[in-house]
Chain A
Amino acid sequence: ELKVEQNPLFLSMQEGKNYTIYCNYSTTSDRLYWYRQDPGKSLESLFVLLSNGAVKQEGRLMASLDTKARLSTLHITAAVHDLSATYFCAVDNGNQFYFGTGTSLTVIP
């Protein structure tokens, strides 16, 4: 079974700082997805990465994919409070989506 691991599971960071969330997966795939979830809310699609070396940026968030290392990163630049949420990565193997455990991010003023 395909496994998707995220780290850290919990992240508390100060406003204005930079940090990276890591997503490792256990089998070959060149399709990786990032989602954001606010407490008690739905999951919102952030990024879709479809090839090795893909990089997508939206505001203070930048996601990248290294299919050879089976690794995706979600980089946060100059964090602001509004980024506080849980972030999930997911991999699809052509048949099913596999989600990571999520990273709960809290940005402290």
Chain B
Amino acid sequence: DSGVTQTPKHLITATGQRVTLRCSPRSGDLSVYWYQQSLDQGLQFLIQYYNGEERAKGNILERFSAQQFPDLHSELNLSSLELGDSALYFCASSADLGAGNTIYFGEGSWLTVV
């Protein structure tokens, strides 16, 4: 158990809908990362937050947004869903980068868009 908690574990929704994925980082970790993993795209970095502020942005679509709250949990919002958004979405957390702190991954949220 990495200590990173993600909910829901599985989600099936229709095209055009909106979903919210939730992540609680490990105790004490200030950084939260979101990744998307699909068979054809591999592991794609979406976005990183550090202590409530956006720190780095990757290949995140405009239809997707995220935030990190004062209690450090984070949410990833996916809207106007398309079939191609079906993937495994990981949240990860770490203490600050630059000091050799590895990032720890949650179990992921499986999203199926039908």
Contact = CB atoms under 8 A, between A and B. Distances in A.
A42 B9 CA distance: 12
B42 A42 contact: no
Interface residues of B, number: 22
A99 B33 contact: no
Interface string A1-45: 000000000000000000000000000000101010000111111
A45 B104 contact: yes
Contacts, number: 50
B107 A42 contact: yes
Interface of B: 2, 33, 42-43, 45, 48, 55-56, 58, 88, 90, 92, 97-98, 100, 102-108
The 6 closest A-B CB pairs, nearest first, are A94-B98, A50-B100, A43-B105, A96-B56, A42-B105, A45-B102
